[in-house]
Structure 1
Amino acid sequence: MTPEELAAVLGEPPAPEGTWEREAVYVSAAALRRGLDAAELAERVRALGGVGSVEVRGKGFLRIVVTVPGDLLRSAPVRPPFSPAWPDFPRTWDNPGFVVRYGHARASAALRWARELGVPESGFAAGLLDDPWHRRVLRALAELPGRLVSREPGWESYLLRLALAYHDAHERAPAVPVGDEEPGPVHTARVRVAAAVREVLPGPDRL
């Protein structure tokens, strides 16, 4: 289930809620904004594959739980239409420009190492992205469709949060085999995350 598929039914992108470490949740006020019956809209969302549950809250807010959050990577991410003015120096963690640029570089390196180490490109199994670090990255990526249509997307803070989440995933759950580890499906899934992050985060040419 992708945010785009949910948006096709809701009429607007839903917003991710929580950390997604244990449960991948979207919320939507589409019924209120569009003047629709919330219960009927909830039934239409429940009919979608990959939706675990839909709860109507308050005056019409929908709380949507998806079963496999990694499925959002089945649609290609869109690069934000934003060119930050962050300086390249100092190259410390206090400089957002360095944090974001280094995140892009790490994602690029993961893709290169994956090719060199023989990580399969096919056979993406979204359900293997179940560690808390990659779940946080997925949660950040899930914000992208909504921010693309927002009047106040807040790209600077968003890109920094995505980069920080990816740094944690890169260090704690590597996308490529370590030591004597053989390439496997989990690496294929994590490399897909790296590819999405590389597309979204600005690289040296955009900083």
Structure 2
Amino acid sequence: MISGERGVMTPGRLAELLGEPPAPEGDWAAEAVYLSAAALRRRIDPVELAATVPGATALPNGLLRIVLPEPAGVLAEVFPVPDQGWPQTPLTWDNPGFVVRYARARAVAVVRAAPALEVRHEPVGSDGFDPAGLSGARDRAVLRVLAELPGRRVSAEPGWAAFLVRLALAYHDAYEQAAPLPKGDEPASPVHAARVRLALAVQEVLPGPDRI
């Protein structure tokens, strides 16, 4: 399990401050937003609760709207999601098992290839990790799905099957349209390092083999 790392607002820290995991809202393309009904459920003043949570604002309906300046904290606390028993074949996009396993294999391949290309993936929150490297829409889409992990884990009906497919599809888009590794003579950059760290989180969450 990839556990919490220093210097960032992680989902676990948010849940600790609120008393429960907040729910990610929107697509996170422009900003990372959570909504929380913790004040209503705990029957406390939402304004007072908002004052204890960085980036939180109390809405008129009693909900809290929380905006994080950087969403990369979700990478610091991920965990494996159970395999859903999908069939191994066919190896086509019509088979959700293939979609998920192929996404994991792609993430594993990125992490495996990174050292030879001199791409170092530093811990989230360390001086060597630049969260701005994950500011692209494709990267943000993966972070947005990962942000659902804490809430789904405590839910009576987590809906892991649908979650895994959504995460896999988001990562396929990121892999294909936001290059995680340098190409040709391109030097390694902080963007590549951040995307390898993203691949490491996806690898941790998705079930399946290392290769297909």
Is 1:77 paired with 2:85?
Answer: no
Pairwise CA distance, 1:204: 2.9
Distance 1:147 1:199 in 2: 16
**Comparing 86-95 and 117-126, the one that deviates more:** 117-126
Pairwise CA distance, 1:19: 0.4
Match of 1:161 among 166, 174, 183: 166
Distance 1:195 1:83 in 2: 18
Distance 1:61 1:17 in 2: 12
Q: Give 1:110's aligned residue.
A: 110
1:161-184: CA deviations, max 9, x gaps? 000000000011111101221011
CA contact (8 A) 1:128 1:186 kept: yes
Distance 1:62 1:96 in 2: 35
Is 1:65 paired with 2:73?
Answer: no
Is 1:20 paired with 2:28?
Answer: yes
Pairwise CA distance, 1:76: 3.4
Q: How many residues align?
A: 197
AA matched with 1:166: Y
Gaps of 5+ in 1: none
Normalised by the length of structure 1, the TM-score is: 0.91
Q: Give 1:192's aligned residue.
A: 197
Gaps of 5+ in 2: 1-8, 123-127
Normalised by the length of structure 2, the TM-score is: 0.89
Pairwise CA distance, 1:119: 0.5
Match of 2:183 among 166, 172, 178: 178
Say which SS state the counterpart of residue 65 (structure 2) adopts.
strand
Distance 2:120 2:83 in 1: 33
1:45-91: CA deviations, max 9, x gaps? 13xxxx3xx22224311111100011322x231112x2211111111
Q: Give 1:148's aligned residue.
A: 153
CA contact (8 A) 2:35 2:63 kept: yes
AA matched with 1:98: F
**Comparing 1-10 and 97-106, the one that deviates more:** 1-10
1:117-167: CA deviations, max 9, x gaps? 110233111122100000000000110011111111000000000000000
**Percent identical across equivalent pairs?**
57
Distance 1:71 1:146 in 2: 15
Say which SS state the counterpart of residue 26 (structure 1) adopts.
strand
Distance 1:161 1:109 in 2: 20
Runs of 4+ in structure 1 over 6 Å off: none
Say which SS state the counterpart of residue 204 (structure 1) adopts.
coil
Name the structure where helix makes up a greater proportion of residues.
1
AA matched with 2:11: P
